[in-house]
Every structure is written in C-alpha cells, then in structure tokens.
Chains A and B, each alone.
Chain A
Amino acid sequence: MEISFNKVSKNYSKFKALDDVSFQYSGHGAIGYLGPNGAGKTTTLKVMTNLLRPTSGTAELNGIDVNKHPKKAMANVGSMIETPTPYPFLTVKESLQFVGELRGVDKKTMESRIEEYYDALKLPPLTSKMGQLSKGQRQRAVFASVLISDPDIVILDEPTSGLDPFERKIFRDFILKLKKTKLVFFSSHILSEVSETCDDVVFINHGKILKQGKIDEISQEFNTSAVSVEFLKPVDDSMIKQLGSIGSGLLKTDGRTAVIKFSGKEADRAAILQDVIKLAPVISYSSYGSDLESAYISILGEK
C-alpha cells in the first residue's frame, strides 16, 4: 500500500490550488493532512482520486498513476471526499451493494460485512432510503461503503466535519482500528483527532506543503513552552509583578489564570510550580495548548 504525490500542481486559470506538492507514504498507518480552509486539502484528495486532473506532476496509488489508469489505481482504494450523496431513491443496503458489486465483492462476503458495519458503525435501518437520512447517518452509510471491499488504502476528507460527538467517536475508533492494517490518509480541522489517531502529519497552506513528518517529532519541535496556572484567587498587580520573574516571563493573565513561558525542559517546569505555589494556592497546573496546536499555529500562522 502506497500513496505517492510527485511534484503535483493544479491551476485554475491563474490561481495555483496546488503548487509542486510531493509526499510519499507506504505501509499501514494514519496520516493527517492539516491546513486551513482553502489551503488545498480537498484539491489534493480530489487529484488523488481522479476527480481532478493535475496540471503537472503525477499522483500514484499503489504505484499506479491514478489519472492515467483510474480503474486499476482505485481498485484497492476506498475514499470519502466532501459529502457524498448516493442515489437518494436507493436504500442503505442497496447503496452498499451497489459499491460492493462494482468492486467485485462476492455476495456472501458482502452480506457479512454489511452485518458487521451495521453494528459497528451504528448504521440507520438498512431499508431506509438514502435521501431520507440525516447528514451523520448518510456519512456513516457512505463510510461503510468505503470499507465494503476491504481496501488497502482509505482516503477521507474531513470525515467528522459537522458530526455530533457520538458520531465523531465512531469514526475515530474506526480509524484507530483501520490504521493497524491499512494506509489511512485523511484531512481534518480537529487537531485532537489527528494527534490521537495519526502517526504522520502533513501541513499545507496556499497549495504548498509547509512541513511533513512523524507527529511525535513535529510535536517535539514545536512543543509547548508555556504552562497555565490557575490560582484560588484572581491574579492581582503584585502577583503579576512577581510572576514576571518566574520561568521565562509572564505570557498573559486572565482572571485567576496566568500563562508562564519557560524553556520547555521538565526541570524548569517543576521549578515554576514550586515558585507559583509560594504566591498563592494553586488549583490547577497544566501545559498551555497542545503540542500539535502549537505546531499548527507556528507552521501555518507564520505563512
């Protein structure tokens, strides 16, 4: 299983939606594709699934050029781009059968998988018409169709966007399960979701890849260098003065909370705790922001 983008550019007249995008991933695991709205995430996934043709460069799935040989390249690939709308007059079961049959899944296997996903993905009644489902129900039904042929590669475009927490959890748990045996490539806005599920992360903005690598390494590089301290009483002027000399200085205060910068070393973090306890009783002491959030803001914020 392999996804490979080689110097892919996509232009709309003079606008460059993708600019020389390259990355390559193989083997099982999950890759998070991060970027703000309009960064080029969906365009990338559309090129990856032959919904768009690149202006230059090649997109390959399992070593096959997806734009030259789409049928062959997509044979072992399941994808959910944007918000797919299956034929509204077909039932949930028929929609799953349609994809399963197109992908050559035998009847017996298909029936058992439909049964499996009906429970695991909490699908709506199989006799419901697709056109009558809510967005979340439809999204789960389409996700089941993505998995019906047990593809090696799964490509998802903001799969949990607009879903409720219950539905998000179903998707997150499934991605964690899938990545053990498959290559999952998905775009998302929800950083906690990416940090919980992904092994690798790619940052894109203005159609350019800004950074890519192991999520741990990137988080390390942009690790949070600030702690948030919540006192029992509001932070007053005298406390602000003293907080300024703790760690690398005071970042901000808000009511009973103060955010203090530090070197990032654990020893310094412990020292800060000892210092602030002397000022007033402390209710909570924690990292300020997540590591991935810091990386996201640092990488995408500066461009």
Chain B
Amino acid sequence: MENDSDFNQYMISFKYQFKSYLRTKRFIGLFLFALIISVGITALIFHDEYSTIKSSTSLNYFYQYLQGFSVDLVVIIGAFFGGDIISTDTGTNAAYYTLVQPVRRSVLFMGRYTAALISSFIIVFVYFFVGIVSSFYLYSTVTPVIFESLGILVLFLAAAIAFASLFSGIFKGQSSGIIVSVLLLFIGFPIIDEFVGTVAGVDPLFSLNFAGGIMYLIFQSPYPAAKTVLKGASGFGAHAGIVTTYLFNPTLMQGIGVLIAYMVICGVIAILLYTRRQIEG
C-alpha cells in the first residue's frame, strides 16, 4: 500500500473532518453568530460615532472595530472547535471506527486540527470581512495592516485550538472539554489578566487572550507602550488617597512568541494524551 504515507493520511484525515465540520450545526450556528455580532457592532459604531469615524482613517477604524469583540470571538470559536478534537473519539464510539485504522493517532490529530483551524478561520473571517466592507464604505480603501492582522488571527486561532484540544484530551466527554475551554478563555483569563495586570502591576504575558491582543494593537499608530502607570485620586476626606493602576500591552514579538508557545506546548501535550489514551469504554 504505497498510498498510506503519513502525509497522505494527514490529507485524508483533514479532508473528511473538514467536510464533516462544514455540515455540523456547530459550524452553521457559529457562522451566523459571527455574522450577527459583526453587523451588530458595526451598526453600533455607525450609530454612535459616525461623524468621528468618518473623519478618521481605515487604520483607526479597524482598531476600534476589532478591539470590541475580536479576541472574545477567537477564543470562543477556538474552544468550540478544539474542545472535542480528541474526545470526539473517546467520548463517542467513533474510536472504534477511526483508531482501528492503520494510521498514527498524531496524523489523525493533525488532520483534525487543520480542519478545525480552517473552519474556525472561515467563521472569524466573517467578522473581519464586515470590517473590510465598512472600511471600503467609509474610506474607499482598506489599510494593508489588515493582512498582518489576519496572519496574527491564524496564529491566535491555532493557539486557542491547541489550548482547547488539551482539555479534549483530559476529559472523556465531548462537551466537557468545550465547556472548560470556553470558561477558561472567555471568563478565566480576562479576570486573571485584570487582577495580575491592572491591580498587581505584573505583566500578564502568560495569558493567551493578552497575547492575542496584538491582533488589533497593530492598528494603533504609534504602537502602544508596553507598560503605562496610571495614578488617580480615590476616596473622600480621611480616606482620600492615590490609586495606582497599570495598563500592559504585549509587544508584537512578545505576542507572537506567546501564541507560538501555546500552540506548540499545548499541541504536543494533546498529541501525547491522544497517543496514550486507551479506549476502555
């Protein structure tokens, strides 16, 4: 069987998983969700700040538009597609169909991972696409920085899916991995970032969401400072005092580094978990 090379099998795993994803209610539902959110945010910006944005630039518009929900959208979509990459086998009887084939589990995983990445990209691209259309409408042009941002989007999605796939390898049930990933990425990390960064004054570079912020920060010109210390008055009378808060931004290289680290470390651990997983059933 000369056609059963790892690369061939990777392409086959990707092809059929991608076909399968495109037909799921999850894909269709999240696609519509992204579309509604995109149109909703655009409508709000146009309604509240039309005169301001009209006199601004495409670069500023994208910063304002993407800052709104893009990071949240990426982590939600990433969690939904990565959260059951492994448990789709172990949580259902699919393992008896896929894992008895002469194919390495790591190859199966990579095929699924790629299918999840492309499916997620299509959904999140809807958000970007609405921004691009708006930019054309407002300025008859689109800033070329959008291409850099789309590149970061791919990396961010790859990291988010790898992070979620780690939980799909830990939990047996399909929904458990998705729920834990969504909770951690959508609620957990932002809360931790707030305490560690804003209050404690420690750079939250460990955070996936924080690092993913470079996706819209690159639209700011000049690029924002890595650390800003803000001092403000608080309290009244005898309780009056100065409160110090901090604002951190990852540099472009820091952000890319953290995203790659998440993608590689979580991906490798997920593959190891998948390879070692026994189907006790």
Contact = CB atoms under 8 A, between A and B. Distances in A.
Interface string B2-25: 111000110011001101100110
Contacts of B101: 74, 99, 102-103
* Most chain B beta-carbon neighbours within 10 Å: one of A50, A51, A52, A105: A51
Contacts of A142: 97
Nearest to A80: B96
Contact of B102 (A53, A82, A87, A102): A102
Nearest to B101: A102
Contacts of A75: 1, 4, 102
Contacts of B279: 46, 51-52
Interface string B266-281: 0000000000001111
* Most chain B beta-carbon neighbours within 10 Å: one of A75, A84, A149: A84
B234 interface: no
B194 to A, nearest CB: 40
Contacts of A81: 96, 100
B137 to A, nearest CB: 37
Give the size range of A's interface with the partner: 35 or more
A278 B48 CA distance: 108
A49 B102 CA distance: 10
A275 B70 CA distance: 93
A98 B95 CA distance: 14
B60 interface: no
Contacts of B9: 102
A89 interface: yes
B256 to A, nearest CB: 34
A140 to B, nearest CB: 14
Contact of B19 (A51, A80, A90, A103): A90
Nearest to A87: B20
A90 B97 contact: no
B102 A51 contact: no
A107 to B, nearest CB: 10
B100 A51 contact: yes
B55 to A, nearest CB: 48
A52 B20 contact: no
A71 B16 contact: no
A71 B2 contact: no
A85 B94 CA distance: 5
B94 A87 contact: yes
Interface string B153-181: 00000000000000000000000000000
A298 to B, nearest CB: 31
A122 interface: no
Contact of B95 (A51, A72, A102, A104): A51
Given A49-B100, A99-B101, A102-B103, A90 B16 contact: yes
A103 B93 contact: no
B104 A71 contact: yes
Nearest to B9: A102
A89 B23 contact: yes
A83 interface: yes
Contacts of B102: 70-75, 77, 102-103
B99 interface: yes
Given A52-B279, A90-B19, A102 B12 contact: yes
A273 to B, nearest CB: 51
Interface of B: 1-4, 8-9, 12-13, 16-17, 19-20, 23-24, 92-97, 99-104, 278-281
Q: 5 closest Cβ contacts across the A-B interface?
A: A104-B1, A104-B3, A84-B96, A104-B4, A85-B93
Given A51-B100, A70-B102, 14 more contacts: A51-B96, A53-B278, A72-B102, A74-B101, A82-B281, A84-B93, A87-B16, A89-B20, A99-B101, A101-B12, A102-B101, A102-B103, A103-B1, A104-B4
14 contacts: A71-B102, A73-B102, A75-B102, A80-B96, A82-B93, A84-B96, A86-B97, A89-B20, A89-B24, A90-B19, A102-B101, A104-B3, A105-B1, A145-B97
